[in-house]
A and B are shown apart, each in its own frame.
Chain A
Amino acid sequence: MNNPVVVSVGWLQENLNTRNVRVIDVRVSDPRLPMGYRAAHIPNAVPFDLNRDMYEMAQGGPRIKPFETLAQILGERGIGNDSIIVLYDEGTGPLAGTVFWLLKYMGHDDLRVLNGGWHAWQQAHASTTADVPQVQPVNYAARVDENQHSTAEWIQENSARGDVVLLDTRMDNEYYSGHIPNAVNLSFDEALDFQTQALKDESVLRQQFEAVGATPDKEIVVYCGSGSRSAHSYLVLKALGYPRVRNYKGSMMDWARRRGLPLE
């Protein structure tokens, strides 16, 4: 279970053709932007677009598709329960974070993220292609792990526990405009080196979280506006080996907008 969460360009280059490795490209796909999977991608990578593949429209806005549907999408793209999945986005950003959290929620075991993403791959002059790989569809079974997820009810029932930390991962101006009571604040992008688009050094990341009281002995519940920036912080905490982390996917849209729950 102690697989490294974050992998380097060198590691992926060495293991790209390893039998169980499956690379998923979760970058932006927009016809107005001339980059993304269709333009070029890591060899053998398959795409996964959050708008098309993860969300569906419902009354009240977009929601995550049923797990059975997501499992079918993964299986059709040749991803099995025993796959070593490597995700990448433009850097090591919230798109990769969102899919990382989703797949952990679905119970996937060996899940990794390319540190620095597409930016790092290009900086290393690693090989790219526009060819879409031929994949062998397989069965994928979702094994939902509710310990990776939080709801408003869970927060209301558990936030008074001394071992629970609510972590607001929005910008400080958003936090000070109103946050879930007792939440502390660390913006998700404090984890990023903007030059390399990789995560900062492990020692720096640990110090950031510990400075706001989010220590490894606590159960950390991350949230933001709509649960994607917090998914990035979820990824970073898991990369640091934190054993108990939940993403409140509904986040402020759920807590404040839909439910009108109190803020401080």
Chain B
Amino acid sequence: MSRWNPIIINAPSDVSADETFDLKGELCPYTFVKSKLMLEMMESGQILQVIVDNDESASNVPKSLTNEGNAVLGCEKVNETDWMITVKKK
């Protein structure tokens, strides 16, 4: 069995999103590319929450967004299949 292990980070409880983007059903690399495009439309400092439904995306999207200079505030498993990634635009 795959041992993809997304790193769980609990977003601060006082964080509220400026935008939420449902990327369930999207596969790599679309989850990362679309997250990045949504962030490009936002202002610096705004918060984006992205929902993905596969472990691969939950593993690589946070790190990819961090590599681009953004701050990932959370990566949480919200139910059996879905992950919520909370990111603050650089």
* Inter-chain contact A189/B64, CB cutoff 8 Å: yes
Task: Determine how close the nearest CB of chain A comes to the CB of B65; give it in whole angstroms.
Answer: 11
* Inter-chain contact A95/B59, CB cutoff 8 Å: no
Task: Determine how close the nearest CB of chain A comes to the CB of B63; give it in whole angstroms.
Answer: 5
* Inter-chain contact B56/A225, CB cutoff 8 Å: yes
* Inter-chain contact B33/A93, CB cutoff 8 Å: yes
* Inter-chain contact A256/B34, CB cutoff 8 Å: no
Chain B residue contacts of A260, Cβ below 8 A? 1
Interface size class of A (residues with CB under 8 A): 20 to 34
Interface-side segment among A127-135, A150-158, A159-167, A169-177 = A169-177
* Inter-chain contact B60/A170, CB cutoff 8 Å: yes
Chain A residue contacts of B17, Cβ below 8 A? none
Shortest Cβ distance from A51 into B: residue:
B30
What sequence of 0s and 1s flags, for each residue 56-86 of chain B, a beta carbon within 8 Å of any chain A beta carbon?
A: 1001100110011100000000000000000
* Inter-chain contact A194/B69, CB cutoff 8 Å: yes
* Inter-chain contact A94/B29, CB cutoff 8 Å: yes
Q: Confirm or deny: A201 has a beta carbon within 8 angstroms of a beta carbon on chain B.
A: no
- Docked Cα-Cα span, A252 to B59, in Å, equals 13
Instruction: For chain A, residues 97 to 153, give those with C-beta under 8 angstroms from any C-beta of chain B.
Output: 98
Q: Confirm or deny: A257 has a beta carbon within 8 angstroms of a beta carbon on chain B.
A: yes
Residue of B5, B33, B34, B68 contacting most chain A CB atoms (<10 Å):
B33
What sequence of 0s and 1s flags, for each residue 1-29 of chain B, a beta carbon within 8 Å of any chain A beta carbon?
A: 11111010000000000000100000111
A contacts with B: majority SS: loop
* Inter-chain contact A173/B28, CB cutoff 8 Å: no
Shortest Cβ distance from B36 into A: residue:
A90
* Inter-chain contact A171/B30, CB cutoff 8 Å: no
Chain A residue contacts of B41, Cβ below 8 A? 33-34
Closest 7 CB pairs of A and B: A178-B3, A256-B2, A225-B56, A94-B29, A177-B5, A171-B63, A228-B29
What 16 new A-B contacts, CB under 8 Å, besides A174-B59, A225-B59?
Answer: A28-B30, A51-B30, A62-B27, A93-B33, A94-B28, A170-B59, A171-B63, A178-B2, A225-B60, A226-B27, A226-B56, A252-B2, A252-B4, A253-B2, A253-B56, A263-B3
- Residues of A whose CB lies within 8 Å of any CB of B are 28, 30, 32-35, 50-51, 62, 89-90, 93-95, 98, 170-171, 173-174, 177-178, 189, 194, 224-226, 228-229, 252-253, 256-257, 260, 263
- Residues of B whose CB lies within 8 Å of any CB of A are 1-5, 7, 21, 27-30, 32-34, 36-38, 41, 56, 59-60, 63-64, 67-69
